[in-house]
């Protein structure tokens, strides 16, 4: 049975510190951009959020809201990856934990972003790439905020529950799949000529890397 309380090493005290850090960053960003953050938290209005803030001023990655969304997404998916590996029926050939997951995800995301930005710049499609990244980040960030809250509930109230964490992983995976499908579908509807670039992006940088990672670990 998966014992999440043991995996998080609560005796070392880094989990409460992380919670305080995320809460402090959230308050800081919310005070600077209250309207944008308020709309982001309304998950039923995520499409409106993307439509309103899909402008040059807001889609830059160094924007405070985007930086916070990157951080919370990294933290949340690191926890998800750690739990998924521990729930896997086949043990991974390399040691996986929250910290190694965070390190790998950071390197993977940065590397993929650099490669994609160069490719789309060469193809003259930098605007399409930036808009796609912003839309994906909005969905990832909003979902990560709520998923992290579920982690807190799980961490402080449950001690042995594989069903809870497995269900959470499945829900997140389903949401990621559906949200991205809708993103690409809307892009194709408004720009049918972008089909080649969408296929290139999906096959080369969304599907293939994760298949390679699965083969590497298992």
Segment 101-131, tens digit of pLDDT:
888 888 888 888 888 888 888 878 788 788 8
Name the token pair of 40: 């982001």
Specify the number of domains making up the chain: 1
Q: Comparing 176 with 27, which gets the higher pLDDT?
A: 27
- How far apart (Å, rounded) are the C-alpha atoms in residues 148 and 69? 12
Three-state secondary-structure class, residue 62: coil
- How far apart (Å, rounded) are the C-alpha atoms in residues 218 and 90? 7
DSSP sequence for 145-182 = HHHHHHHHHHHHH-SS-HHHHHHHHHHHHHHHHHHHHH
pLDDT of 218 over the 90 cut: no
pLDDT of 20 over the 80 cut: yes
Q: Could you tell me the pLDDT band of residue 178, with boundaries at 50, 70 and 90?
A: confident
> Highest-confidence range of 47-51, 71-75, 82-86, 150-154, by mean pLDDT?
71-75
Sequence-ordered list of residues with C-beta below 8 angstroms from that of 171, at least 6 positions apart, any chain: none
The stretch 85-109 carries a mean pLDDT of 75
High-pLDDT (> 70) share of the chain, %: 78
- How far apart (Å, rounded) are the C-alpha atoms in residues 123 and 62? 24
What residues make up the domain containing 36?
A: 4-217
What does pTM read for this prediction?
A: 0.80
- How far apart (Å, rounded) are the C-alpha atoms in residues 139 and 161? 27
Name the token pair of 157: 């109230």
Is the Cα dihedral 204, 209, 211, 216 positive or negative?
A: positive
Query: Given this model, what pLDDT does residue 8 score?
Result: 45
Q: Comparing 141 with 151, which gets the higher pLDDT?
A: 141
Q: Largest Cα–Cα distance of the chain, in whole Å?
A: 55
What letter would DSSP give residue 8?
Answer: T
- Among all chains, which residue has been given the structure tokens 């510190």? 17
């Amino acid at each position: 049975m998966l014992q999440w309380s043991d995996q998080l090493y609560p005796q070392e005290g880094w989990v409460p510190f992380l919670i305080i850090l995320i809460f402090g960053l959230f308050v800081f960003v919310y005070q600077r951009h209250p309207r944008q953050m308020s709309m982001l938290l309304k998950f039923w209005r995520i499409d409106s959020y993307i439509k309103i803030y899909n402008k040059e001023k807001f889609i830059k990655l160094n924007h405070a809201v985007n930086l916070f969304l990157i951080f919370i997404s990294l933290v949340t998916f690191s926890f998800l990856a750690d739990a998924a590996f521990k729930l896997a029926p086949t043990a991974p050939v390399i040691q996986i934990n929250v910290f190694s997951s965070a390190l790998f995800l950071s390197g993977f995301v940065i590397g993929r972003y650099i490669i994609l930005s160069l490719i789309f710049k060469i193809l003259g499609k930098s605007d399409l790439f930036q808009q796609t990244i912003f839309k994906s980040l909005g969905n990832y960030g909003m979902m990560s905020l709520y998923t992290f809250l579920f982690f807190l509930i799980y961490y402080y109230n449950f001690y042995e529950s594989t069903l809870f964490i497995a269900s959470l992983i499945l829900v997140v995976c389903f949401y990621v799949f559906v949200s991205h499908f809708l993103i690409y579908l809307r892009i194709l509807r408004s720009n049918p000529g972008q089909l080649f670039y969408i296929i290139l992006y999906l096959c080369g940088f969304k599907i293939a890397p994760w298949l390679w990672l699965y083969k590497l670990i298992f």
